[in-house]
Structures are given as structure tokens and as C-alpha cells.
Structure 1
Amino acid sequence: MKRVFLFLLIMAMGSTAWAGSSLADKAKAEGKARFYANITAIEPIVEGFTEDTGVKGEYTRISTSKFLATVLTEFKAGKLMADVLQAPLPVMELLKQQGVLAPYRPGEADKYPGWASADGVIQQFGIEYVGLIYNKELVKPEDAPKRYQDLADPKWKDRIVMANPTTHATTISWLVGLKENVFKSEAEWMDFVKGLAANRPMFVTSFGPTPAPIESGEKAIGISMPKYIITKAPAPLDWARLEQPLLGTPRGIAIVANAKHPNAGRLFMDYFLSKKAMSMLASKVGEYVLYPGVYPPIDGMDKAKVIPLRELSDEELAKWGAEFKRIFDAP
């Protein structure tokens, strides 16, 4: 009973802290905070923000492929409704270059790695991690890959699904990231890529469609995101616990320049970066977050090494997309 009481007391203190700050008072006067994001299933965080602060949170989900164009069009027309933006780091960097983002360093930033808030504008809070997920009714844990090289084993021929490596920017960056962070030589990496291509993986447009053919048993394994183990539950999904690190695109959040509700936006960003919100993001959405000690409830994920991918230039994406088209002989 003492533990339960202590937990409830801590939660109550957290809520009171949000409600009692001078920033919260200014935010209440503005009435609402509007949030554009590419991340999905974060309604619990927005609802928690509204309940804990008394400031209404409004969330609009915009797909990654449309995010940059949508925000820039609205911003240049003076009609951007968002006070806070969240997207993959490369998209946020482009928005910063266009003057869309304003400097702000939330107090919670001190809890994160130093590199996650180095520019004082974009706060990185998580990594859109990529791994290997499989149908545990078709693949035994001991038969799952232990290294990325294992995907080139002929036993996986016609049994793999992945986002199209000729057009999907994150998959292109992931493959190049393996070359730069995992494989000992470019020759070894190229052998892996060619072996993967020889196994004739099914291509889909993005990570979103990758779990379905694994769930149905059409494919046994996929290059995908382990978070689907949570969001697709009770689907028979598990992830390959590799000896090598997982790679992924950093996720960023920032305040909009000339935001209509600047104080409410800052309060929302503070709340979003809190341990409470990050714990919800990890537990309910399966996201890999950068808040210390917070992990998605996926067995073994607390022991995994997850590192951010380097941002590739448009020229690099075009170059490697064309190279992978040649290797995979994609239509």
C-alpha cells in the first residue's frame, strides 16, 4: 500500500508542477497548443497534457511524405496553425533552414544526451529504430538471424518483406548506415546487399505495410520496426536480438516561429519531453526514446544498442537509390 500511495503522490506532484508554473499561467491565457506530427498513436500524451495543464492540446497527424510540403506551404502563406512541430530530424533540419522554427531550450533538455539538443532549436527525443521482426509461429527464436549477414542466407529466399530500397529514403539510409556503422569493410557490406537481393524480398512502399504479410504468414521475416510488436498485438510478432546495433532516424520536436500560442507551445514541448510523456510513448506506442531509463516493453530492448543514422544528402539518396535499383533489379 505504501508503494501505491507513493506512486500516486509522485503523479499528483507532477500534475501540480505543470499547473503551477508561470509558463502554465501564460499558456492558459492562450487557451490551446496545436501540434503537427508525423508520429502516430500519441493521443494519450495530448490528452494527458490537457488534463494535467488545463491547456487544450490539438494534434494533427501529417505523413512524413507530405510533412515538409504541407508545413512550408502553410508557413509561406502565413497560415501555419501549428505551435509545435515533430518530424524526422532531416525534415526538421530543412524546416529550420527555411526559418520555420524558433529557438527554445526546454528544461527537460538537460535530461537528454547533450547531442540531442546541440543547436538550441530542435530537441531530439527518440530514434525511429529499424530491426528485424518475424512471425514467431513460423520462426523459432534460435533460427532467427543473429547478425544482419544472416538475411543473405538462402533459407530466407522469398520469405522477406522490406520497404523498397530504391525509393524509401529511410531504408536507403539504413542500408548505407550498415556500411558505415556495422560492417568491417565495404566489400563485406556489398556481399550482404547482393545476398539480400538474391533472396528476392517483397517490396512495399514504407515500413507501415511491412507487418501485414508477416502477421498473415505470407512472409516469415521483415526489415521493419520492432514497435509493431506492441502496436500490432496480439499478432505473433517477435524481433531478432542481433549481436549488432540497431539503427534509426532521430525524431525531433521544436517550436514554430511566430506561433499563435507560443507559451502554450513551449508548455506542450516541456510536457512532451517529460518522463511521464516519454514513458507513455514507449509503453503505448513502442517507441525508442532518449529519456534515460525509459524503454519500450519489448523483451530485451533495454539491452539493445540503438544509434542514430547519419542524414544523407539528396544527392546521396539519389545515388544509392539508383545503385540499389541495379542490385535488386527493381522495376
Structure 2
Amino acid sequence: MKMLLAMFIVLFAAANAHAADDALLSKARTEGKVAFYANITAVEPIIKAFTDDTGVKAEYTRISTTKFVATAITEFEAGKFMADVVQGPLPVLELLKEKGMLAAYRSPAAAGYPEWTRKDDRIQLFGIEYVGLIYNKDLVKKADVPKRYEDLTDPKWKNKIVMANPANHPTTISWLIGLKENVFKSEAEWMKFVKGLAANKPMFVASFGPTPAPLESGEKLIGISMPKYIITKAPAPLDWAHLSQPLMGTPRAIAVSSTAPHPNAARAFIDYWLSKKAMDMMAKDVGEYVLAPGVFPPIEGMDKAKVISIRELSDDEIKKWGSEFKTIFDVK
């Protein structure tokens, strides 16, 4: 009898959830479309799948991390912020939340995610913008592939490294501080690494997006970048260094805009985005490290890698360390 009652409760809850989903989707279809502002790249397949599966047109506008906050806040204060859904690194969404730009929404699709991914009733984490060392596997011998971050200071890599500008790229600044706080045993050891990396004269680019190109061409051999490019840049000759230390990254977050012109479509989009179908696509087609249970990118060894979330840096910390790295790396 108890078993039958439990089964009834489960079926009743599922039926109610399905009815709620249908009701939301019906309202979303009435609104017709959803505008998605994001810093994430190569997600057009998910945008198309959402449109095909729901009948609600999704419009994707990419804004780079370095311009995201300024662009969004400027539009918001001018009453011209037209995003329904915003996605970006957690620190970016925290800033938008402080400005009153995010609406409350707890998606039922996130029910199976780790508890720590639900920051509050506005922000939901779905992935980690994981950073590692990628390299040109046609030009770098297996014996030479770095095994620790410290190997980047070897003089043989002088003028052979590409990375996002450590003076102004927030994620790279956070990553370098993450090394100090999570990998190196002392600040002195960490600073020795930073100065050794700087001495090897890396090429600086604006963000992670441009890092694979000089590796593909052979102009550079190693990049401080995102392993997902092994997937998105295939068949480029890219691989990742299986380090003995953890990979680190900034949590990726998503939220509904408080001024969403299409609020029901926004909620339906977030539900779809967090679904296993979408997270499978993001991992397998885009190479992202997602937080949906049991889903990993199809990159050899990534399911066994230790990937950790680094803490949020304040604006003041980003400015302070950006200024210090500008001096250390002699950024012009």
C-alpha cells in the first residue's frame, strides 16, 4: 500500500510538472521569441534545437567578457536592454544582479544539479569556463608536453606561448590568482612561476577566442586556453596537456533579465538550456565542461580530470592584479 502511494505521488508530481511545462511553453509561444545575450561561443546548435523543439525563435547575441558589463549596464540605464536571458561568467552576473538587472527564477530543470550550483533565486550555474594548456600535437613531441604548470617557465617555450592578455582579461586574471590560491604551495613559488612565464614572452590576444589560431598555424606551440577548442576547431591538430594539477575556471551562469520583454520565453529557454539534451549538446558538440551530472566533453581523459571552480574576484581585485600583471608581463 505504501509503495502504491509513493508511486502515485511520483506520477502525480510528474503530471503536474508536465502540465506546468506545457503551460509555460504555451505562453512562450504566444510571446514568439527570446533574446539571449551571452559570452559563450559556438552554441548555435542549441539555439537552433530550442527553436525547432519549441517553436519559439531564439536570437543569440554574443558579447565578449571584457565588454559585457559595460554594454549591458549602459543599455539597461538607457532603458534599451532588450535581453530576455543573460549568460556569462559568475562575476559578471553578480554585478548585473547588484544593478537589479536579474529576475527571480528557479528552473525545475536544475533539480538534479549539485546544490552549490544554485547561487540564489536568480543565478544558476551550469558549467565551468575551464582553462588548461592546449598545444599543437603535430609540432610538440609527447615527451615535451607540460606535466605541470611550472613547465611553462622552461626557456624552450620562449616566444612559443599564446594567452589572453593578463592585464585586462578578467578570466585570465582570475585564473592566475586561482593558481596562487589552489595550486602553488606559497606565494613565492607562485610569483616565481608568473615571472618565469612572463620571461618566456607570450603572445597576448584579447580573449580565449583568438588563442587557437596561432597554434593551428604553427606560429605558437602552446596556449593557455580552453580545451573545448579541441572539439570546436576540429580537425585542427590540437590536444591538451594532462597535468597532474587541477584545471580551473570561472563558473558559467545564466539568469532571466528583470526587464525581459518575453519573460515566459525566457524561463522556457533556461529550462531547455539546463536540460540533459542541451547539456549533452554543449559538452559533445561545443566541448564545454558542464555541471549536469554524468555529462562530459568527448575529450580523451577529461572525464577523469579534476576541474575546480575558482572564486570570484572583486572589481578592485581585477584592477589591482591587472595592473600588477601589466608590469610583470611588460604589456604595452
TM-score, with normalisation over the residues of structure 2?
0.90
Equivalent pair of 1:19/1:53 in contact (CA under 8 Å): no
Cα root mean square deviation, aligned: 1.7
Report the equivalent of 2:103: 102
Deviation at 1:70, TM superposition (A): 2.4
Which digits, 9 at most, give the CA deviation of each residue in 1:7-42, with x for residues without a partner? xxxxxxxxxx69962211222222222211111221
Deviation at 1:178, TM superposition (A): 0.1
Equivalent pair of 1:18/1:52 in contact (CA under 8 Å): no
Q: Structure 1: how far apart are the matches of 2:54 and 2:139?
A: 47
Report the equivalent of 2:6: none
Report the equivalent of 2:208: 207
Quick check: 185-194 or 267-276, which moved more? 185-194
Equivalent pair of 2:133/2:222 in contact (CA under 8 Å): yes
Equivalent pair of 2:105/2:121 in contact (CA under 8 Å): yes
Question: Are 1:39 and 2:37 an aligned pair?
Answer: no
Identity of aligned residues (%): 72
Deviation at 1:135, TM superposition (A): 0.6
Report the equivalent of 2:163: 162
Question: Are 1:250 and 2:251 an aligned pair?
Answer: yes
Q: Structure 2: how far apart are the matches of 1:256 and 1:162?
A: 32
Paired residue secondary structure (2:122): coil
Q: Structure 2: how far apart are the matches of 1:275 and 1:20?
A: 16
Deviation at 1:114, TM superposition (A): 1.0
Q: Structure 2: how far apart are the matches of 1:329 and 1:29?
A: 55
Report the equivalent of 2:151: 150
Residues 325 and 57 of structure 1: is their aligned pair in 2 closer, same or farther, counting only changes over 3 Å? closer
Equivalent pair of 1:18/1:24 in contact (CA under 8 Å): no
Q: Structure 1: how far apart are the matches of 2:248 and 2:119?
A: 20
Which digits, 9 at most, give the CA deviation of each residue in 1:111-138, with x for residues without a partner? 2111111311111111111100011111
Deviation at 1:171, TM superposition (A): 1.2
Structure 2 gap ranges (5+): 1-17
Letter of the aligned partner of 1:58 in structure 2?
E
Number of corresponding residues: 315
Equivalent pair of 1:134/1:238 in contact (CA under 8 Å): yes
Structure 1 gap ranges (5+): 1-16
Q: Structure 1: how far apart are the matches of 2:234 and 2:22?
A: 39
Paired residue secondary structure (2:252): strand
Letter of the aligned partner of 2:86 in structure 1?
L
Paired residue secondary structure (2:82): coil
Equivalent pair of 1:19/1:52 in contact (CA under 8 Å): no
Report the equivalent of 1:53: 54
Q: Structure 2: how far apart are the matches of 1:216 and 1:140?
A: 17
Equivalent pair of 2:33/2:265 in contact (CA under 8 Å): yes
Quick check: 156-165 or 268-277, which moved more? 156-165
Residues 195 and 54 of structure 1: is their aligned pair in 2 closer, same or farther, counting only changes over 3 Å? same
Report the equivalent of 1:21: 22
Letter of the aligned partner of 1:27 in structure 2?
A
Equivalent pair of 2:81/2:259 in contact (CA under 8 Å): no
> Pairwise mapping of residues 82-231 of structure 1 onto structure 2 (< 5 A)?
82-231=83-232
Equivalent pair of 2:82/2:259 in contact (CA under 8 Å): no
Equivalent pair of 1:18/1:53 in contact (CA under 8 Å): no
> Pairwise mapping of residues 212-291 of structure 1 onto structure 2 (< 5 A)?
212-291=213-292
TM-score, with normalisation over the residues of structure 1?
0.91
Paired residue secondary structure (2:111): helix
Which digits, 9 at most, give the CA deviation of each residue in 1:18-75, with x for residues without a partner? 9962211222222222211111221211211122122222222222222222222332
Equivalent pair of 1:247/1:306 in contact (CA under 8 Å): yes
Paired residue secondary structure (1:174): helix
Equivalent pair of 1:177/1:309 in contact (CA under 8 Å): yes
Equivalent pair of 2:130/2:247 in contact (CA under 8 Å): yes
Equivalent pair of 2:279/2:295 in contact (CA under 8 Å): yes
Deviation at 1:296, TM superposition (A): 1.1
Report the equivalent of 1:10: none
Residues 151 and 176 of structure 1: is their aligned pair in 2 closer, same or farther, counting only changes over 3 Å? same
Residues 139 and 123 of structure 1: is their aligned pair in 2 closer, same or farther, counting only changes over 3 Å? same
Deviation at 1:316, TM superposition (A): 1.5
Residues 19 and 32 of structure 1: is their aligned pair in 2 closer, same or farther, counting only changes over 3 Å? farther
